[in-house]
Chains A and B, each alone.
Chain A
Amino acid sequence: MEKKKVIEELRQKFSEKIKEVTVQFGDEILLIERDSLLDIVQFLKDKPYSYSMLLDLTCVDYKGQEPRFEMVYHLFSIPNIQRLRIKVRLSEKDLQIDSLTSVWKNANWLEREVYDMFGVNFKDHPDLRRIFMYDGFEGHPLRKDFPLRKRQPRIPLRK
């Protein structure tokens, strides 16, 4: 199934929810509303689109813009050999989004990483903790306002 057709059908089904479709360096990018994320990925995961793999999940901090954060999802369809990028914008004041752990299992660790690095909250995530940084680490290192050489306070010895 061609990618154009997939996007066409998505537009028909979720007309208002898809805010923008752009092409950059040959990759299609879909910008969607936050509340429709789960519906859209579930729709794409099912046949005949078969975007059955969550290739990657990350976040970008556009400091100074509103909304500030942008979640980036890369989906992959093995039978059709296609990648699709879905983006959702999040405002700093209301920094939360639905978790994809019910759809894909690797979303668990990937979302923990985004929570660790950017402080995005994932609704209904079973185990939202830091993954790379230790407990007691202050701040979210990949945010643009986190200095490169910031020192961390000492953590007390564990008993």
Chain B
Amino acid sequence: MPTRIQKEASEESLLLNMGPSHPAMHGTIRIMLELDGERILNSEVEVGYLHRGFEKICEHRTYFNLLPYTDRMNYVSPLINNLGYVMTVEKMLGIEVPERAQYIRVIMSELSRISDHLTCLAAMAMECGAFTVFLYNVKAREFIWDVIEETTGARMTTSYIRIGGVRADLHPGYKAVLKKAIVETRKVLKDIHGLLDKNKIYLNRTRDIAVVSPETAISYGWTGPCLRSTGVYYDVRKASPYAVYDQLDFEVPLGERGDNFDRYMVRMKEMEQSLRIIEQAMEKMPSPSPSKLMAEALEPAEAIKASRTKRIEKEIKLSPNLEGSERQKYLDILGTDKKYVVPPKEDTYTSIEGIINHFKFFMRDHGIRPPKGEVYFSVEGGNGELGFYIVSDGTDRPYRLHLRAPCFHIVSALEEMIKGRYIADVIPTFGSTNMIGGELDR
């Protein structure tokens, strides 16, 4: 089947394929170039290589068990995806989230944002030849993922933020790990500023290349760091604050020219602001209610055996990731409304009410059932405004779920950005758009 560019190209010009898998680019995307020598006359971007039918799958899953799919959208910052989806459902249900959970959510989404920006800049710099920057960035990202891993138990597919709160409390020794991550990331950021800001090779390849005016950016629906690099002040965290962002002090860095270098610079400055947010959130976070001594608590097997004859009054030891017990932690991090929250495991195994709650939550056509209607909610993702549009028909699974993927809008401008430039300019330009296949193709 001939593509558009094959039909439109003039006979003298050369057609060249970049991608779907190209050694100098990341992500599966095909860019067809119509060339006159090295200059790009026209181009066509073809997407869809990573299309997995996210929206179709979600229509067949319950509100609770489609959460892991959201991890796989923007797989560099899965926690923000979790947050966006969960807050959309919470908006429908009208749930209040415990304050400590709000702060944990903010810390987690800022950590994800840093790892997202680090990955983007690492790939962009590496493709321009700065391999050291790539290694430094990936090193800093490891420290951040250590924090995420210790708390959520996974590096990428976290499914950590749940409807009503978060799955587990922060790891007991999180403060030391988090402080180390902040120190190391600051060091790396300083190094990268030193390596790239006045680097002639890097400047030649990014300064005044792929300049996008604010009007064009808005017309393409750009959001996030790419829109801010053109000088438009719009950040979902400031415009319509969610979680506890209105109680934290941070700035929104803006660019001036809207070229590749500004997109790099805005991301660098944003990471610094994210670190500031994390530090403040650590300070302001309400401390957890003191956990009871679990020395006298029952072993799970004993408790289950005893529960067959009488009601258990003592505490039960359970799930080490939650510091010995789930139920007493729920007040701080998950809320206790049985309609929306998975019942604590010690209740499920030892009491009849617990087991009824469990089945009411997981049985088909029971569980979380938002009222009829439709809702749109957005959070500030790594690439920009990450919005979920959910239509509910009153059953336990969404009638329609649509993801507003920020990088879909950004990549749709790629054809215009590279028009009239050289082939070599495609690489840093594409890098600066931060295309994430999972989010783009859904």
Interface residues of A, Cβ cutoff 8 Å to B:
24-27, 29, 52-56, 58, 60-61, 72, 74, 78, 81, 83, 85, 104-106, 108-110, 117, 127, 129-136, 141-142, 146, 148, 158
Contacts and interface: CB of A to CB of B under 8 A. Distances in A.
B391 A60 contact: yes
A27 B218 CA distance: 22
Interface residues of B, number: 40
Given A56-B387, A108-B412, A117-B55, 9 more contacts: A29-B374, A83-B376, A104-B219, A104-B221, A105-B413, A106-B220, A133-B48, A141-B56, A148-B56
A140 to B, nearest CB: 11
B408 A141 contact: no
B181 interface: no
B218 A53 contact: yes
Contact of B374 (A24, A52, A83): A24
B1 A136 contact: yes
A78 B219 CA distance: 12
A25 B216 contact: no
A25 B375 contact: yes
B286 interface: no
Contact of A127 (B4, B239, B385): B4
Please name the 4 residue pairs, one residue from A and one from B, whose CB atoms are nearest each other, closest first.
Answer: A132-B48, A106-B221, A135-B1, A132-B51
Nearest to B371: A25
Contacts of B4: 127, 129
B376 A74 contact: yes
Contact of A85 (B47, B376, B404, B416): B376
A108 B387 CA distance: 19
A72 B413 contact: no
Contacts of A27: 375-376
Contacts of B413: 105-106
B4 to A, nearest CB: 6
Contacts of A24: 373-375
Nearest to B215: A52
21 contacts: A52-B219, A53-B221, A54-B221, A55-B221, A55-B404, A72-B402, A78-B218, A83-B376, A105-B412, A106-B219, A106-B220, A106-B413, A109-B408, A127-B4, A131-B47, A132-B441, A132-B442, A135-B1, A148-B56, A148-B57, A148-B60
Nearest to A146: B56
Interface string B57-79: 10010000000000000000000
Which of A81, A109, A148 has its CB near the most chain B CB atoms (within 10 A)?
A109
B412 A55 contact: no
A131 B50 CA distance: 12
B106 interface: no
A132 B1 CA distance: 15
B56 A25 contact: no
